[in-house]
Amino acid sequence: MISTGGVFVLRPLEESDSTSDTREDAQALAEATRDRLADHVTWVPFVDRFLVADDPNAGLGVLPTGFIASTTLEGHAVEPQTAADLCRLLELGHLAPLWHHGLPMTSETVGDVLAHMRPLS
């Protein structure tokens, strides 16, 4: 997600998921996102990552779904023009196939997150 609040990787934490494995996946995706953005822009904002769940026992670094909007949309970590430029990269497909403009369909699956992040040829 890209907004003036920042650039965010939001990874759902399912009951069957290992919190540590999911946290590592989210961190790897955040790093891959930053690397891919660096291929296209001269200044890359920090990419925050959150696990998203409503389980109060999920641990630190887990964002309740009710706080997604306030966490990601409020604040001014990224200038509006920079956020627009980053969104334009999504619209043009420069961050595909993993990232795309808009919300994914509920039936859409990503598969192996890092498999999509092989260096561009």
Domain count, the chain: 1
**Predicted pLDDT at 103:** 56
What predicted TM-score, i.e. pTM, was given to this entire model?
0.72
**Predicted pLDDT at 100:** 63
**Predicted pLDDT at 94:** 82
**Predicted pLDDT at 21:** 84
For the chain, 121 residues long, give each residue's pLDDT as a single digit of tens: 888 888 888 888 877 777 788 888 888 888 988 888 888 888 888 899 888 888 766 666 788 888 888 888 888 888 888 888 888 888 888 887 667 666 554 444 444 444 444 443 3
2: Cβ contacts below 8 Å, ≥ 6 apart: 8, 78, 83, 86, 87, 90
18: Cβ contacts below 8 Å, ≥ 6 apart: none
52: Cβ contacts below 8 Å, ≥ 6 apart: 10, 11, 12, 13, 62, 63, 64, 65, 68
Tell me which residue range forms the domain holding 30.
2-117
